[in-house]
Amino acid sequence: MESSQWWREGIIYQIYPRSFKDSNGDGLGDLPGIIEKLDYLLSLGVDALWLSPFYPTPDKDFGYDVSDHCAVDPRFGTLADFDRLVAEAHRRGLRILLDMVMNHTSDQHPWFQEARSSRTSPKRDWYIWRDRPNNWQAAFGGRTWTYDPQTGQYYLHLFTPAQPDVNWRNPAVRQAQLDVFRFWLERGVDGFRLDVFNAYFKHPDLPDNPPQFGLRGFDRQRHIYDMDQPEMMPLLNELRALLDSYPERYAVGETYLATLDKVVSYCGPDKLHAAFSFDFTSAALFYPWNPAWILKKILARERIFEAAGVWPTTVLSNHDLPRAASRYCRGEDDSQARIALTLLLTLRGTPFLYYGEEIGLRDLPLKRHEILDPPGQKYWPIYKGRDGCRGPMQWDDSPQAGFSQAQPWLKVHPDYPRRNVAAQESDPASLLNFTRRLIALRREYPALRRGAFVPLSAPAGVLAYLRRTEAQTVFVALNFSRREVRAPLPEGEWQTLLPEGASPAGALGPQQILLACKV
């Protein structure tokens, strides 16, 4: 793999640090815990690790409310631990990507503390203050405006009141924010995931957003003035120039309220390398998890990304969504999780694997009093929040699943005595070994990494496609249905890659997967 292409062809593994591995017995995962597990990550075959925030935080949004962007929260370790993590990861050929939360800070951040101290504070304009609110709604409920009694004005926050939005229009803020990127680049990180980057700029006049039909207040308006402002483009150019002044750095943006056209507009040689489009994450939530719907989504993104010359990303799970295995599987049966993983690892685009996805980790079953996530607390039971997908990683069948010596910050899923890394390591038929095999195939077959996507017609319930380069063709068929169907292999001679040793011709069993290479 050419190294300048690593972010196109490699696999990125997302770690939610507080739930990955606790090394010091306080019930929270930490950076030394991640170091302990680097060999496991290497054995999976992933290329880069994206770390959700580990910066100092009052935890009003579990790390996405940052009170110091250039430090490590003592609960997660020290800067020395971070440097050791980078060195140990690099020694194994693994890259490290950081989560940059630059749309807002914590209200405990010294910048905001200073800004709210008086109307004449030199940092007052580092945030967005108004005498009267407009009609904007916050993503986590209620208005985007909170009244600050001490100075008699309202400040803007797209998320919780504990997360005031910074004023990117102020040149000093812009400078300070870019310095944060520089700080981590100098420490050797390989790139960034940008939290809600397309909301950095708001319309300077803060006009009311026009109404639209929707369920929650936030959905009942068109977000045309609170995000996606034209000033974003020159900033992305500047950020890209900064990244390009270091070798092989990468940035992927979390596009808020992503549409395909919007996503590609933010990517390119002088903008972001990639931005999330979340094409499949609403399957089984709002849309059916079936081949027809998925193919429609694939074709739409292929058309738009190809035309724009932008490389797609594929995400099925992350720290904001119910896990794919919980959305698509019945109980503990992993058949649909295998289909989901095959899709993730064989489509054209950079796969993002969320910790635990490789063992089919399920969402935690939580009662109302166990909910910690602010939007979950606010909207229960209509929306139960995101704690479910943030449960402790299940390493083995010892107490607390080998995650911690103490009671973890979120409880361990009750299926851990059977579903854990150690148990799956020793079972050749496990989801973990299936994932490893898929990743190994992706590494071995360039067509799976960079080949064109060619849809094939297939029996009902089956999604079939080729990944094709000039020199190689790989066939993929996913039988979503619980019936046996004919394998829709095109003419020619095929060698089966998965399941190993199976005959490529004939039938595709219920919920079975077939990968074959043309000989």
Contact residues for ligand NOJ (CB under 6 A)?
61, 64, 101, 159, 195-196, 254, 319-320
Residue closer to ligand NOJ (CB basis): 253 or 451: 253
Residue type for position 71: A
Residue closer to ligand NOJ (CB basis): 33 or 164: 164
Q: Which of 340, 440, 438, 358 is nearest to 394 (CA)?
A: 358
Residue 50 DSSP SS3: strand
Q: Which of 359, 499, 364 is nearest to 425 (CA)?
A: 359
Q: How far is the CB of 134 from ligand NOJ (least distance, A)?
A: 20
- Residue 13's DSSP bridge partners are 49, 353
For residue 503, give Cα distances in angstroms to 265, 285, 474, 492.
44, 36, 15, 14
Residue closer to ligand NOJ (CB basis): 101 or 458: 101
Q: How far is the CB of 175 from ligand NOJ (least distance, A)?
A: 22
Residue nearest to ligand NOJ (CB): 64
Residue 196 C-beta-side C-alpha neighbours within 13 Å: 22
Decide the pairing of beta strands 494-498 and 473-479.
unpaired
Q: How far is the CB of 199 from ligand NOJ (least distance, A)?
A: 9
Q: Which of 126, 138, 69 is nearest to 100 (CA)?
A: 69
DSSP character at residue 186: H
Q: How far is the CB of 195 from ligand NOJ (least distance, A)?
A: 5
Residue closer to ligand NOJ (CB basis): 197 or 395: 197
| Strands across the sheet containing 462-468 | 452-456, 462-468, 473-479, 513-518, 494-498
Residue closer to ligand NOJ (CB basis): 27 or 253: 253
Q: How far is the CB of 351 from ligand NOJ (least distance, A)?
A: 18
DSSP assignment of 437-485 equals: HHHHHHHH-HHHHHPEEEEE---TTEEEEEEE-SS-EEEEEEE-SSS-E
**CA-CA-CA-CA torsion sign (388, 440, 433, 510):** positive
DSSP character at residue 316: S
Q: How far is the CB of 390 from ligand NOJ (least distance, A)?
A: 9
DSSP character at residue 42: H
CA distance 322 to 172: 39
Residue closer to ligand NOJ (CB basis): 99 or 302: 99
Token representation of residue 211: 């109404």
Token representation of residue 296: 């429609």
Longest Cα separation, the chain: 77
Residue closer to ligand NOJ (CB basis): 159 or 416: 159
Q: How far is the CB of 144 from ligand NOJ (least distance, A)?
A: 13
Q: How far is the CB of 257 from ligand NOJ (least distance, A)?
A: 11
Residue closer to ligand NOJ (CB basis): 140 or 445: 140
- The set of catalytic residues is 195, 254
